[in-house]
Chain A
Amino acid sequence: MTSSSPSTASPAELAKFSAMADAWWDPEGKFKPLHKFNPLRIAYISDHMAAHFGRSLDVERPFEGLRLLDIGCGGGLVSEPLARLGFEVIGIDAAERNIGTARVHAERSGVPVTYRQATPEDLVREGQVFDAVLTLEVVEHVADVDLFLESIGTLVRPGGAVVAATLNRTLKSLALAKYAAEYVLRWLPRGTHDWRKFMKPSELTTGLRRAGLETRDVAGMTWNPLLDEWSKTQDVSMNYILFAVRAA
């Protein structure tokens, strides 16, 4: 495993990424909603991956020897924890500044993650294959969903696993995820989401099936405004997360 270093970046860029890494990783900062939400996503990923790959979580590096691709890794809030859990993690993001940010943070915390500015299609062209692929809060932003899901199907090896998380397209999500989150609570910058691109669980599972991926579990992730806590529920009307596998 190699740790990427931002050595090609200029000092000015490093300073910029450094400030952004601090912002991304500050639990009380502007990515606070993501920090609140993150442990739940990681618990879902690690529980399902441990069951699927027959690993115990009570060992030093539960997922040693498994290669994982984190599509849309952002500042590395999921990539780093999964690398700590023993996965060989490759994090990709279309935005150069996210990659720089994630690299700086991984370097400082000493966690080995390989970050690249790339698209899933780039990796398909390179013939890369992974034991596990994550697409968390990404599919609602991509231009060509069918191509995107097809790429995921190609990138995961037979017998491998995929975790996908996104927002359902319901009136509730229009009201809350779009208007409340962007305009009222100001959790997200305005224009972050285009509600018409949100996918119903049935649409996502159908798309995954076409790409050769069978959905095994779907769970809702629900925010309790009184406790300001997220929990796993049956309610998939807003945020949901699913686990799918490619037949061996």
Chain B
Amino acid sequence: MPSTDVLIVGCGLVGGTLACLLASHGVRVVVIDASPPPERLDPALDGRWSALAEGSRILLDRAGLWPALEPSSQAITDIRVCDAFSPLVLDFGGIGALGHMVENRSVRVALADRLATLAAATVRAPARLSTLERGPYRVTATLDDGERVDAALVVGADGRGSQVRALAGIGTRARAYDQTAIVQTIAHEESHDGLAVELFLPGGPFATLPLPGNHSLIVWSERAALVPGLLAADPAVYQAELAQRVGEFLGDITPVGRPQAFPLALHLAHRLADTRLALVGDAGHGMHPVAGQGFNFGLRDVAALAELLIDAHRLGQDPGAPALTEAYSAWRRPDTALMLALTDGLVRLFSNTHPVLTRARRLGLASVNRLAPLKDLLTTHARGTQALGRLPRLMRP
């Protein structure tokens, strides 16, 4: 038999969660990651946080990760969406936790700890793929240290610049937004009370997300050309620009640590599956952070693929059979294309000052707030407990 059932390339948030889910159901996995564990767990390297929708939290709980994450997480209990030029707001409060903010580094620590307890999981890091051969009956990979791994299926969980995707010759469609996201932690005077605010500005959406204590995370999408100037500006000027956008609800604000900048782009792999291969997370698709869906959407891939693989394992089926990879692709492809189109549409709708569009979106926000059923629908999507397509079993409450 192949030396393992599934070879997962990339032990980040998406690949690591998949490994935990599979191994805890007896599916054998080998996970390789290019960065060595100490570097991956270095607190100085990654001050990033992710907004976890409720469905994603359920999935991390099923993967045995949530108990370790909960203490350092922050619940989002209210979301307000506002348009810069209008007093009208869309308010999602009053229904319990809409999501949680978790620190990426905490997730990585929890993943490493959990994987170490699972007998069916083997982690190899640092290790890179040298070659990848996919035949009708198995996948054979060689690692840069010369070791050979035989698997029934290879999963590319290796991010936007996926090596697995490249080695498989799967192209992507990509379009850069003329926007860069500035990610900045701030400390503030007043409590945020679990409130997340998304403000649509002409330069791009500006989100303030609650972190534990009197801290919040700013995700500021801005016209790309303005960003280098902002980051090079006098700290007082930068802080004033931030404060003006955050508004007054948090009292005085102070940036904590350095801002990080990420150019924004949309990309979609031509195929999410191929012979004995599946792509999950950013290896398959990337979207604008406007809806806070990137990470959650990657976890939706994980939940779907894990469900198919666990079912196949319980029936003694070949985990890399064409029936399985085709089912994965048929499940995720339409959902992905629709989500990319939705986030793309939101960005285009809001990131401009055309008077007709400005009026239309104000009316839109206001009427959504008045129409209870439509708001409920949007809320369940924000919570991630319902899908456009079939919601994976592992994400259901």
Interface positions of A (Cβ within 8 A of B): 27, 39, 42-43, 46, 56-62, 80-85, 108-112
Count of residues in B whose CB is under 8 Å from the partner chain: 20
Most chain B CB within a 10 A radius of its CB, from A39, A82, A83, A112: A39
Contact B316 A82 (CB under 8 A): yes
Contact among A42, A59, A109, A111 for B315, CB-based, below 8 A: A42
A-chain residues with CB within 8 Å of residue B24 when the two chains form the complex: 58
A64 to chain B, nearest CB (A): 11
Interface positions of B (Cβ within 8 A of A): 1-2, 24-28, 119-120, 136-138, 150, 314-318, 322-323
Contact A46 B28 (CB under 8 A): no
Total contacts A-B at CB 8 Å: 49
Contact A112 B1 (CB under 8 A): yes
B-chain residues with CB within 8 Å of residue A58 when the two chains form the complex: 24-26
Beyond A60-B27, A60-B28: 11 further Cβ-contacts under 8 Å? Answer: A39-B317, A42-B316, A43-B314, A46-B316, A56-B26, A58-B25, A61-B26, A81-B316, A83-B316, A108-B137, A110-B150
A104 to chain B, nearest CB (A): 11
B-chain residues with CB within 8 Å of residue A61 when the two chains form the complex: 26
A-chain residues with CB within 8 Å of residue B322 when the two chains form the complex: 27
Q: Residue on A with the closest CB to B315?
A: A42
Q: How far is the CA of A56 from the CA of B25 in the complex (A)?
A: 10
Q: How far is the CA of A27 from the CA of B28 in the complex (A)?
A: 25
Q: Residue on B with the closest CB to A27?
A: B323
A-chain residues with CB within 8 Å of residue B120 when the two chains form the complex: 59-60
Contact among B26, B136, B150, B323 for A57, CB-based, below 8 A: B26
Q: Residue on A with the closest CB to B323?
A: A27
B-chain residues with CB within 8 Å of residue A62 when the two chains form the complex: 26
A116 to chain B, nearest CB (A): 20
Q: Residue on B with the closest CB to A86?
A: B316
Contact A60 B316 (CB under 8 A): no
A-chain residues with CB within 8 Å of residue B138 when the two chains form the complex: 109-110
Contact A110 B137 (CB under 8 A): yes
A2 to chain B, nearest CB (A): 13
| Residue contacts A-B, CB under 8 angstroms, 6 given | A42-B315, A42-B316, A80-B316, A81-B317, A82-B316, A84-B1
Contact among B25, B119, B315 for A81, CB-based, below 8 A: B315
Q: Which 10 A-B pairs have the closest CB atoms?
A: A81-B316, A84-B316, A85-B316, A59-B26, A58-B25, A42-B315, A60-B26, A110-B1, A58-B26, A57-B314
